Amino acid sequence: MALRVSLIKGRGKPLAVFSAGLLFTRPLRRVIRAAGYSISSGWFGVADRQIGIWGRIPMSRRVLSRWPLDRITTFEDAFLRSVLPGLKNPPIGLNIDDIGVHFDARTPSRLESILQSVDLSDPELLRRAANGRAFLQHYGLSKYNPVPRGYGEIPVVGYVLVVDQVAGDASISDGLAGAETFAQMLAAAKAENPGKRIVIRTHPAVKSGGKKGHFGVEDTDENTSLSSEPLNPWDLLEFADRVYCVTSQMGLDAILAGHRPEVFGVPFYAGWGLSNDRQTAPRRTRVLNVEQLFAGTMLIYPFWYNHARRAGCEFEEAAQQLLAQARHHWDGLRATHAVGMRMWKRPHVAKFLSGGGRTLTFHSSDLAALRAAQKNDGQIVVWASKENAALAAEACAVKVPLLRMEDGFLRSTGLGAELTPAVSLVLDDCGIYYDPNAPSQLETLIASSIELPEFAIARAARLRESLRASGVSKYNLKGEAPDLPEGAHKILVVGQVEDDASIRLGTDDVRTNLGLLQAARSQNPSAFIIYKPHPDVVAGLRNGAISDADTSLFCDLVVEKSDPSELIEVCDEIWTMTSLMGFEALLRGKPVSCLGLPFYAGWGLTRDIGRKCARRNVAVNLDQLVHAALLDYPRYHDPVSHMPCTAELVVERLANGECPKPASLKILAKLQGLFAGRTSIWR
C-alpha cells in the first residue's frame, strides 16, 4: 500500500471537478474519499486546486483544453471493475493518474511510468502477482463478470480469436487506431491463418443493443463467425490458438492466460515484450515478464476498495470481495422458485437468492414451484430437509434444475432453532453435504481440492488460523470452559439432535447420544470424558436428551454452556457421530473419532469407526478441506453492509459480535420458547 500511495502526487489535496458523476455518485465518491481525495464542484472556481476528471469523456476533454496536464488528476475504472457495468455497480478499484491516462499512448501516464521505471523484481511482489494471476484465471474474473467459467458452450476449439470493440471508444483513438485498424486486423488474421476458423468476439455492449461494433454479419464467411453469446473470457482464451486485438483489455487477459496476442493499436499492455505489436511504442523500452506486468497494472497502479468493509484494501481482498459478489449474481442467472422455506427465514434467504437480476418467488407447494419454473425456464431451490424423492424425480423429468439449501458452517451468533438468521448458506445442485448416501457438490469440491493452486491453499491456511485465533465457530455461543483435571486424557463427546438429518442419513450402528457415550467409554475406560449436549436439546427445542442416571454411568462431566472453541482447546480428542464440532476440532488440530460419516470424514483426517464411503478415495490435507468447506462451497452475506461478502469478513463480524438478530425475530423467538414442547407450531 505504501508504494502505491507514494507514486501519486498530491493525494490528500482537495480536487475541483466538473463531472456530475464524480460529484453525485455516492458509492464512487466513497472510493475517491478512501483514496485520500476530497472533491467539490469546480463550477464556482478552481482557485489553486488540482482538477479531477473522469477518463476522456467529452467534459474531461473540455477541461483538458483549458488547463495544463500538471493540474489534472484523472480517474478511471481499474482493470478489475465490477460484476456488471453501470453506475448501479460501482467499481472496486480506480486507476488514479496524475500524469495522463493509461489508455492514451500519445502522452505518458502514471502506469507507463510504473512499468518503465519502478523496480518490479521484489520476490514478494512477484509472488503476489503470480498468485493474483492464478486467482483470476481459476475463478474466471475479468473487468466485468456477468457469467462464470463453464457457462455456455464454446462452439469450436483451436480457433483464431479476433476481438471487436465498441465503435468510438476513447481507447481506440487514444491507442493510435481507428475503424480502419479493425478491418486491417481481420484481414491479417485471415491471411496469417489460412484455413483456420476465425471467431470474432462481439463486445457485450453491442449484444445488448446499446452500442455498435466494427464487425457484423457481412464480415462472416465459411471460416469466420461472430460470437456474441454470454461466455467467460477466460474460457474463450483457453480454447483459442491465437488472439488478435486492437486496444481491448481482453488483450491483457490474453497475456495473463499465456497468449502472445497480435496487437494492432498501442494499448497500455503493448510495448513490453509480451505481445506481437504492429505499431511501436518508443517510450516503452523495458522488457517485462507476465508477473511484472501484473504487478504494475494490478498491484501498484490501482487503488482498491472493499465496498462491504467500506475501506481501501489491497488487490487480493478486492478480488475476493468481487468474487463473492459475482457468485451472488451467478446464482441468480435463472429465475428462482423457492419451496420448503419457513416464513421467518424467507427475508433472509431472499438476500442470498436475489442476484442475477432474475425474479425470486416463494411457493407453498412443490407442484406450484415446478409449474412456475417450467414456465420461465427457472430453477427450484428447496430447503434440503424438505426435499422429497417425488420433487427430485419430477424436476429431473422436466429438466428443471433443483438446488438444495442449508446453513453454512459459519452460521450466526445464536442458534437457528432460536430463529437467528444465518450469515452463510450453501446451495448444492448435486446433493447435500450431510447425506453421504449420494454425491454432493461439497464432496466433489473436497475430492478435487488436491489440485488447488498455491494461492487457494495459502488463503485457506490464513482463514483457519484466524478461526482458531478468534474462537469463531458455527453458532458462537459463549461460556467459560470448565476446570479439568491435570494429567488426565480428556475426551470431549459431542451430543447432537437425534432426529437431525445427518444422524438419520449418516449413521449406522450408533445413532443416539447415549450410544455414542457408551462407545466412547467402552474404548477409553480410564479417560476423563466430558459430554456436551446440543444446545437445542438443552433448550428443550429438539430431541436427544439423556437422563442424569445414564450420563453418570458413562461420563465424568456434563457441560451444557461453554464456548465450543474453548472447550475443544482444553480437550485432547473429540468423539462424535456427525457433529460439525468434529470439523471445528480438526481446525484446532485435535484428533477426531467419527462413528458416523460427516462430510469431513473419509479423507484421511479422522479416525473413522463407523461407516465408510467408497467415493471418498483420496487423501486431502486440512487446508484443502478448509478451502472446499469454507471458501468454495458456501455463500456469505454481510449483516452490516447487507452485501455478499467473503468468509474472512464474516469471521470478523462474528468475532466482533456484529451479527445482530432483527427485533421482530427476537420477539418471535420468545414466543417460540413458550411453546417449546409443541414443535409442530414453529418447525
> Which tens digits make up the pLDDT trace of 499-515?
999 999 999 999 999 99
pLDDT digits (tens, 9 = 90+) for 59-68: 999 999 999 9
pLDDT digits (tens, 9 = 90+) for 593-604: 999 999 999 999
Q: For residue 451, give the C-alpha cell.
A: 489440485
Q: For residue 143, give the C-alpha cell.
A: 473487468
- Could you tell me the sign of the dihedral formed by the alpha carbons of 116, 119, 120, 121, in that order? positive
As assigned by CATH, the class of the 449-670 domain is alpha beta
Mean pLDDT of the residues in the chain: 91
Structure-model confidence comparison of residues 556 and 562, the more confident one? 556
Q: Which pLDDT score, from 0 to 100, does residue 7 have?
A: 44
Q: Which pLDDT score, from 0 to 100, does residue 47 have?
A: 83
Q: Is the pLDDT of residue 683 over 60?
A: no
Q: Is the pLDDT of residue 675 over 50?
A: no
Kindly give, in sequence order, each residue whose CB lies less than 8 Å from that of residue 21, ignoring residues fewer than 6 positions away.
Answer: 28, 54, 87
Q: Is the pLDDT of residue 667 over 70?
A: no
- The residue behind cell 505518458 is 108
Q: Which pLDDT score, from 0 to 100, does residue 414 have?
A: 63
CATH architecture designation of domain 123-300: 3-Layer(aba) Sandwich (3.40)
Q: For residue 428, give the C-alpha cell.
A: 448444492
Q: Which pLDDT score, from 0 to 100, does residue 418 have?
A: 58
Q: Which amino acid is at 31?
A: V
Q: Is the pLDDT of residue 491 over 60?
A: yes
Band of residue 11 on the pLDDT scale cut at 50, 70, 90: low
Q: Which pLDDT score, from 0 to 100, does residue 563 have?
A: 86
Q: Are 446 and 624 in contact (CB under 8 A)?
A: yes
Q: DSSP states of 499-553 as a string?
A: T-HHHHHHBSS--SHHHHHHHHHHH-TTSEEEEE--HHHHTTSSS----HHHHHH
Structure-model confidence comparison of residues 371 and 205, the more confident one? 371
One fold for both 123-300 and 449-670? Answer: yes
The residue ranges of DSSP E strands in 318-466, in sequence order, are 336-339, 360-363, 379-383, 402-407, 424-428
Q: For residue 606, give the C-alpha cell.
A: 479422522
| Domain spans in the chain, listed from the N-terminal domain onward | 2-117, 123-300, 449-670
Q: H or E element: which one contains 312?
A: strand 311-313
Q: Is the pLDDT of residue 432 over 50?
A: yes
pTM, 2 dp = 0.92
Strands 557-558 and 528-532: parallel
Q: Which pLDDT score, from 0 to 100, does residue 87 have?
A: 84
Structure-model confidence comparison of residues 359 and 48, the more confident one? 359
Q: How many residues does the chain have?
A: 683
Round to whole Å and give the CA distance between 185 and 262: 9
